[in-house]
Amino acid sequence: MKKKAVIFISDRGSNSIAILNAIKDGYLKNLEISMIIADNRNASGLKKAKKAGFNANFVYAGTKKSKFSERGVENYLNLIHKIKPDYIFLAGFMRIIPERIIQSVKYVLNIHPSLLPSFKGLNVQKQALDYGVKISGCTVHFVDTNVDNGPIIIQRVVPVFDNDTVEILSQRILKEEHKAYPEAIWLLINNKIGIRDRIVEIVE
């Protein structure tokens, strides 16, 4: 039986495309993406996904940028109850996920463009440059009720150079994100993950 997932995006959607490509290439064999859901009707990733023939839709989540409204939560929960996905993959989704949504599926995963627990929240590539770190990277983690906090599945590292700009560093990290997210999903759908307290153990 294939596992079912929905992907939430807010804008560009390149990580969602990386996941869809990993399915197309046969790397994520037992996975089906039932829908790509954007909380922003102008998300460029929404147009790209639709053009490529995927089931992609805007779903109203609220007027505030980072929080769901009550009606937004109901909209998303109604859809999840209809689709009954096993997982939600957050891929550049910029809203805090309410507990009711987290509890509506087996697992919610997120990708974040820093080496957590360093640099949580927004504009984290700028935070990393301003802090003067010499390495950065990305983290795929389980989502819990605290922002950028859940158990870490995979991290990939990139160097930070003296003359990096936010754009250059973001691109370098994004390249690694496109590998890390499919890898983390592969571990999940192939039952290779055990969680002890907040420690993820990769089971052979």
The verdict on whether 112 is a catalytic residue reads: yes
Residue 139 to residues 45, 59, 180, Cα–Cα distance (Å): 21, 26, 8
Distance CA 58, CA 114 (A): 27
Residue 14 interacting with ligand GAR (CB under 6 A): yes
Only one of the segments 7-15, 22-30, 33-41, 57-65 lies at the binding site for ligand GAR (rule: CB under 6 A); that segment is 7-15
φ/ψ of residue 120, rounded to 5: -90, 165
Instruction: Collect all residues with Cβ–Cβ distance below 8 Å to 145 and sequence separation of at least 6.
Output: 99, 102
Of 8, 13, 20, 108, the one binding ligand GAR by CB under 6 A: 13
Residue 15 interacting with ligand GAR (CB under 6 A): yes
Only one of the segments 106-114, 149-157, 161-169, 191-199 lies at the binding site for ligand GAR (rule: CB under 6 A); that segment is 106-114
CB atoms within 10 A of CB 160: 19
Residue 85 interacting with ligand GAR (CB under 6 A): no
Indicate the helix (H) or strand (E) that contains 24. Answer: helix 14-24
Only one of the segments 11-19, 51-59, 61-69, 195-203 lies at the binding site for ligand GAR (rule: CB under 6 A); that segment is 11-19
Residues that bind ligand GAR (CB under 6 A): 9, 11-15, 45, 91-92, 111-113, 174, 177
User: Which residues are the active-site residues?
Assistant: 112
